[in-house]
Amino acid sequence: MAPRATALRLVAKRTLTPSLCQTMKMRYSTVPLAYDLHEPAKPSVGNPNKNSPIVFMHGLFGSKKNNRTISKVLARDLGRSVYAIDLRNHGDSPHDPHHNYTAMAADVGDFIKQHDLKDPCLIGHSMGAKAAMTLSLTSPTLISSLISVDNAPIDARLESDFARYIRGMKEIESSEVTKQSQADSILQSYEPSVTIRQFLLGNLHRPRHPESQVQKFKVPLSIIGKALDHLGDFPFKDPREVRFEKPALFVRGTKSKYVPDEVIPLIGQFFPRFELVDVEAGHWLISENPEAFRRAVVEFLSPKE
The 10s digit of each residue's pLDDT in 120-177 is 999 999 999 999 999 999 999 999 999 999 999 999 876 568 899 999 999 999 999 9
pLDDT given for residue 158 in this prediction: 67
- Strands of the 82-85 sheet, one edge to the other: 35-38, 82-85, 54-57, 121-125, 145-149, 248-253, 274-279
pLDDT given for residue 213 in this prediction: 86
Cα–Cα dist 250/275, whole Å: 6
Intervals of the chain under pLDDT 50 = 1-25, 48
pLDDT given for residue 98 in this prediction: 96
pLDDT given for residue 3 in this prediction: 46
pLDDT given for residue 233 in this prediction: 94
pLDDT given for residue 211 in this prediction: 72
Under 8 Å between Cβ of 244 and 137: yes
For the annotated catalytic residues, the residue numbers are 126, 283
DSSP annotation of 228 reads G
Under 8 Å between Cβ of 133 and 234: yes
What is the reported pTM? 0.88
pLDDT given for residue 288 in this prediction: 92
Burial grade of 201 (CB within 10 A; 0-12, 13-18, 19 or more): middle
pLDDT given for residue 23 in this prediction: 42
Give exposure, 107-143, as e/b (b: 16+ Cβ within 10 Å). Answer: bbbebbeeeebeebbbbbbbbbbbbbbbbbbbbeebb
pLDDT given for residue 28 in this prediction: 72
Beta strand residue intervals within 30-120, DSSP E = 35-38, 54-57, 82-85
Sequence-distant (6+) residues with CB within 8 A of 244 are 133, 136, 137, 140, 146, 270, 271
Sequence-distant (6+) residues with CB within 8 A of 122 are 54, 55, 57, 108, 132, 135, 136, 143, 145, 146, 147
Cα–Cα dist 35/121, whole Å: 16
Q: List, for residues 183-215, the tens digit of each pLDDT value.
A: 999 999 999 989 889 999 999 998 877 677 899
pLDDT given for residue 51 in this prediction: 67
Report all structural domains of the chain as residue ranges with CATH numbers, in order of start.
28-156+234-301 (3.40.50.1820), 160-227 (no CATH)
Query: Strand, coil or helix: what is 305?
Result: coil
